[in-house]
Structure 1
Amino acid sequence: MIPSYFFAHGAPSLVIEDHEYTRFLKQFAASLPRKPKAIVIFSAHWESRIQEVGSVETHGTIYDFSGFPDALYQMTYPAPGDVPLSEQVSALLSGAGIGNRLDTRRGLDHGAWAVLKLIFPNADIPVVALSVNRYLSNEQQYEIGKALGELREQDILIIGSGGIVHNLRQIKWGAGAETVDSWALEFDQWIQERLENWNTEELFRYEELAPNASRSVPTNEHFIPLLLAMGSGDANRKAQLLHRSYQWGSLSLAAWQFS
């Protein structure tokens, strides 16, 4: 069974940056037990009030950002889709009572392609993209991931792409990697303890229980992919922090494995 993962995708410029985290991502594929047959990825940048399941033959590249270097707008990630897998994902969700629909048009947004381009630069693994719904409860997010957990037995890699501490208004541009705001670190460490102990009861209540929660997670769309990836690891309930560093004082660049 292949593990599932959560990866922070940072800023859109992540894919052209060179630092500890991007080097980790570039080396990550070599750590997998085998090459995935396909990838199912939830991106914080695809929001929908009903669960969307991408179902395309080949992915276009969405440039859902502005004001970044021209090199970013020249990048593509033409990964193939996997329509039968999309239909299987839809069926698994429906079987768990989770309403969903297939989307036959949308390409990959930067929350998906920036991470995938660093890990699997050849774009030769089929990808099925999924949306997130910020209006569901944390328990419901977890259940969506859990519904797809059996895909791991088919060597399908499940990824949640977002950010644990992700408040762009708190960023200190120019701050070095050694600068970490105490409030961001406290929140990250609180989340870490609940993940490692698989304490979903408290984790689902992070908004009221965790220190600095509203400052760290001002809106929840970037946090949701963590719960989705975690839910897909419900069968064994083992969480491992693979990497954590910070950009600009508080932007958390974390990678978690659920196996």
Structure 2
Amino acid sequence: MFPSFFMAHGAPTLVLEHHPYTQFLRILGAQIPKPEGIVLVSAHWESPRQLISGASQLETLHDFFGFPQELYEITYPAVGNIVLSLQIQKLLASEGITCSIDDSRGLDHGAWTLLSLLLPQADTPVVTLSLNPRLVPEEQYRIGKALMHLRQQGILIIGSGGTVHNPGLLSWDSKDAEDWAIEFDQWVAERIHIWDLEALFDYEHRAPFAAKAVPTKEHFAPLFISMGAADRMRKATLLHQQYQLGTLSLSCWMFS
């Protein structure tokens, strides 16, 4: 059975960077068995209604501005899988989660930057799911739990976001992580390791510096979906952790 992952996608320039995290992602992609398909939830596809990509060819979306021209020339020519999309729709509907197929959505930078590093050949079908950041953590977890059986079919489930993600508090000249960012991540890691859902679901009130680390919920929410997809065994492993620009957490969690 494939594990599920929660991965930080950092800034769009991640795909151009060379440091321990990008090296880790390349090695991870080479080490894991080739999946039958990928289901990815990105912080950058927000929708009040649950949507599932259904396009046969997924356009590379350059959903950012002010970055090097080289970044806008990168494409990740992933194909979709409508059979998998329809299966996901059925699984979610069986849990009472209203959803529909979007046959035009492409890959935003929360998806293609990670996939370019993990699976640069782009030879694995990809289906992406939208995210509603207004849902409470319990509801996000329930979405992931509905997808759990896909892992038995060789489907790789990835939540793409970040634990500490506050663009307004980036330290452009800093090489060291801010203490408050580390403290928040340590609190989250301790609760994930023991699968303390009660505390994690209430992180806004219990976690130190939660308001600074998670000023908006879209980057943190995919964590709960990835965990929900591993609800049966509830085993968590932190594979990588580092920081950029003082506060931007680049971590990768594996759930099995």
TM-score interval, normalised by the smaller of the two chains: over 0.9
Task: Report how far residue 30 of structure 1 moved.
Answer: 2.6
More off after superposition, 77-86 vs 167-176: 167-176
Which of 213, 217, 232 is residue 214 of structure 2 equivalent to? Answer: 217
Aligned to 1:11: 11
Q: Which amino acid letter does the alignment assign opposite residue 171 of structure 2?
A: K
Aligned to 1:206: 203
| Structure 1 portions without partners, runs of 5+ | none
Task: Report how far residue 29 of structure 1 moved.
Answer: 1.6
SS of the counterpart of 1:220? coil
Are 2:26 and 1:35 equivalent residues in the alignment?
Answer: no
SS of the counterpart of 2:115? helix
User: How many residue pairs align between the two structures?
Assistant: 256
C-alpha distance in 2 between matches for 1:68 and 1:27: 26
Task: Report how far residue 31 of structure 1 moved.
Answer: 2.7
Aligned to 1:70: 69
C-alpha distance in 1 between matches for 2:113 and 2:29: 15
C-alpha distance in 2 between matches for 1:131 and 1:254: 21
> CA offsets, 1:47-96, max 9 Å, x none?
00011100010110100100101111000011110000000000000001
Aligned to 2:247: 250
- Tell me the TM-score normalized by structure 2: 0.99
SS of the counterpart of 1:59? coil
Task: Report how far residue 113 of structure 1 moved.
Answer: 0.3
Q: Which amino acid letter does the alignment assign opposite residue 221 of structure 2?
A: I
SS of the counterpart of 1:226? helix
C-alpha distance in 2 between matches for 1:159 and 1:2: 11
Q: Which amino acid letter does the alignment assign opposite residue 87 of structure 1?
A: L
SS of the counterpart of 1:125? coil
Q: Which amino acid letter does the alignment assign opposite residue 72 of structure 1?
A: L
Matches within 5 A, 1:156-235: 156-176=155-175, 179-235=176-232
Q: Which runs of 4+ in 1 moved over 4 A?
A: none
| Structure 2 portions without partners, runs of 5+ | none
The answer to whether the 8 Å contact 2:241/2:249 transfers is yes
C-alpha distance in 1 between matches for 2:137 and 2:117: 29
SS of the counterpart of 1:222? coil
Q: Which amino acid letter does the alignment assign opposite residue 60 of structure 2?
A: T
C-alpha distance in 1 between matches for 2:56 and 2:104: 9
Task: Report how far residue 174 of structure 1 moved.
Answer: 2.9
SS of the counterpart of 2:101? strand
C-alpha distance in 1 between matches for 2:11 and 2:42: 13
SS of the counterpart of 2:218? helix
C-alpha distance in 2 between matches for 1:72 and 1:122: 18
Aligned to 1:24: 24
Identity fraction in percent = 54
Aligned-residue CA RMSD (Å): 0.6
- Tell me the TM-score normalized by structure 1: 0.98
